[in-house]
Structure 1
Amino acid sequence: MDLMTDKVQMRSRARTKIWLDVSSVWYRNDEGFLTATSTYWGVYLGEEHEDLLLHYDYERDKDLYTEAHIQVAGVHPALERMLGEVGRNGDHMKDLHLPVGGRRLRPSLEDLLESLIAERLLDPKPGHEKILGDSRREYRVKQISALVRSNQETAASVLRETGWDVAKKSEEGFLAGLRRSRKNRS
C-alpha cells in the first residue's frame, strides 16, 4: 500500500510559502501488522515549493546509512571542503544522512509539525496541541508495542524489575491467540 501526496502549502504568516510533502510505502508483515517500508517527510520553501529545507526519511533495512535519518539543505563551506578532502567532491550538507532514533524510536510527523510551530514557521489552528498530542501518543504506543514484540525478554525483565508478574504463554496458547487475532482482523 502506497501513500503519496502532492506538496501541501502550510499556514504561515510569512510571505515565503512553506510546503509539506509526505509519502510512505507499507506492507503487512508475517504477524499481520501493517509495517512501513519507507516514509518521507519533506519541508520545502518558496513560491512553487522549489527549495528543499529538510527531509526525514525512513528506509527499512538500509545498508549504507541509518534507516531513520534527516537531511538538511544548506551551505557550510568548511563541511564541503572536508567532504572534498575525503573524496566526496560535489557533496553538500544535504547529502549527509544524520541519524534520528532508528527503526522504533524515530520522530513522528507530529514532532516535525510541532517543531515548525515552535520555531514560528507555521501558524497553528486553535486546539492543535491536543490533536498533535493525541496523534503522537497513538503513534508512540504502536512503536512501543512493536519494540516490545521484538524485544520480549528485555521487556519482561524490566517489568519484573518494576514489580510486575510476567509469565510467558505456552507456545501452543500463543499461536492459537495469534490465529484468533488474525481472524478478527480479516
Structure 2
Amino acid sequence: MAPDPGTDDLQQAAADFADELTRTVQWANPECVPFRAMGVEGRDRVVVAQSPDTGIDLLVGGEKLILLKVRFDCAFDHEGRFLAVERSHFHVSAAVSKKHPLFRFEYERSANRTPSAHFHIHAHRDSMTYLMVKSGSASRTGRKRTEPGYLPTIQDLHFPLGGHRFRPCLEDVLTMLADEFGLDRHPDAFARWDEGRARWRKRQLGSAVRDDPQTAVRSLRALGYTVDWTGMAGAEPGTREDRLRSL
C-alpha cells in the first residue's frame, strides 16, 4: 500500500534515508557526525544532512586529507508515493582549504537552464578561459560572460552527469576518492559501497521505468515475459517525455 503523502510519512522516509547515508559514510569514517532528516517549516520538504553540518573527514594514513560535504533536499514524487530528491550536492575539498571545493557533484530537479545533474571543477586553465570568453553570447549560458569585469573560471561550467535517473550516487564519490587518494576505510568498505550502488541503481531503474513504461514493457516481452495492462482506473500510463529529454 502506498503511503499517504503527509508530513509524518515524508519525515519517516527521509529519516530512513538519513540512516542509510550515515551507514554509507561510516565505512570510511565511523566517527563522522550522523545524517538527520530536518523538516522545512511551512513546506512539504525535508533536508537530509549532517547536524551539525561539519562535513565528513576522510583520512589517509591517519591524517585528515579530504572533507566531503553532502546534502539532500527531499520531497515526495509527483505521484505522492516515493521519496524524491529535489536537489543534492557532494562537495569535495582539501582539508587544509575547507571553504574552497576542489570539485562538486550537484543535482537540481527543477533545473531548466543547466543540466539537472552536473559536475563543477574548481581549477584554472588559460585555454579553457579563453574559449569561455570567446564564446561570449553565442552560448546559452555565456551571456553573463560578456558583462564588463566578469572573468570566467572553469568552475562556472556545468558538465552533465546522466540527468535525473542516471546521476552518480554517494557510493560512487566515496569509491572514487578511495581509489584515487587511498582513503583509510573499513576492510569491507568497497563491498558495502558496491551493495549500496546496486540499491541506488535499482531504485533509479524503477523510477526510469515509471518515466517510460512502454519501453520497459517492450524490453520485458523481448526477454520472453508476458506483460499486460491490468489497471482498473484511468488510462494506461504514458511516457514522460520531459524526463527523457531533460539534460
Structure 1 residues 48 and 156, CA gap change in structure 2 (3 angstroms): same
1:8-157 maps to which residues of 2 (within 5 A)? 8-13=56-61, 17-29=65-77, 30-87=79-136, 88=145, 89-157=150-218
- Residues 40-92 of structure 1: CA distance to partner in whole angstroms, max 9, x if unpaired? 00001132513311110110121111100000111111011121222324111
* Equivalent-residue separation in structure 1 for 2:151 and 2:204 (angstroms): 37
Structure 1 counterpart SS, 2:190: helix
* Equivalent-residue separation in structure 1 for 2:58 and 2:110 (angstroms): 32
* Equivalent-residue separation in structure 2 for 1:99 and 1:113 (angstroms): 19
TM-score by length of 2: 0.66
Structure 1 residues 82 and 15, CA gap change in structure 2 (3 angstroms): farther
Q: CA RMSD in A?
A: 2.1
Aligned residue type for 2:89: Y
Aligned residue type for 1:9: D
Confirm or deny: 8 A CA contact 2:58 2:64 kept in the other structure. Answer: no
* Equivalent-residue separation in structure 2 for 1:158 and 1:54 (angstroms): 37
Q: How many residues align?
A: 175
- Residues 73-123 of structure 1: CA distance to partner in whole angstroms, max 9, x if unpaired? 111110111212223241111110000111001111101111111112422
Task: Identify the match of residue 2 of structure 1 among 40, 44, 47.
Answer: 47
Unmatched runs of 5 consecutive residues or more in structure 1: 175-186
Indicate the percent of aligned positions where both proteins have the same amino acid: 26
* Equivalent-residue separation in structure 2 for 1:125 and 1:11 (angstroms): 12
TM-score by length of 1: 0.86
Tell me the equivalent position of 1:181: none
